[in-house]
Amino acid sequence: MKLLIAVDMEGTSGVTTWDQVTPGHAEWQRFRRIMTADVNAAIAGAYLGGVDEIVVSDGHWNGDNLLIDELDPRARLNTGSPSPWSMVEGLNEGVDAAFFIGYHARNGTAHAILDHTWSAARVHNLYINGRVSGETGLNGSLCGHFGVPVLLLSGDQTVGVEAREWIAGIETVTTKIAHGRWSAEVFPPEIVQEKLRVAAETALRRFLKGEGPKPIQPTYPVTITLELVGSDMGDKAALLPGARRLDGRTIEFTAPDMPAAYQAFRAAVTLALRT
Report the phi/psi class of residue 114: left, alpha or beta, with left for phi > 0 and alpha for psi in -120 to 50: left
Where b means 16+ CB within 10 Å and e means fewer, 112-136 reads bbbbbbbbeebbbbbbbbeebbbbb
Say how far residue 161 (Cα) sits from the centre of its chain.
Answer: 14
Rg of the chain taking only CA atoms, in angstroms: 18
Say if strands 222-228 and 123-128 run parallel, antiparallel, or are unpaired. Answer: antiparallel
Evaluate whether 137 touches 164 at the Cβ level (below 8 Å).
Answer: no
- 116 in catalytic set: yes
Q: Which of 104, 116, 124, 145 is catalytic?
A: 116
Measured CA angle at 83 (ends 156, 77), to 5 deg:
65
Evaluate whether 6 touches 86 at the Cβ level (below 8 Å).
Answer: no
Say if strands 2-7 and 97-103 run parallel, antiparallel, or are unpaired. Answer: parallel
d(CA 92, CA 226): 25
Amino acid at 51: V
| Active site (catalytic) residues | 116
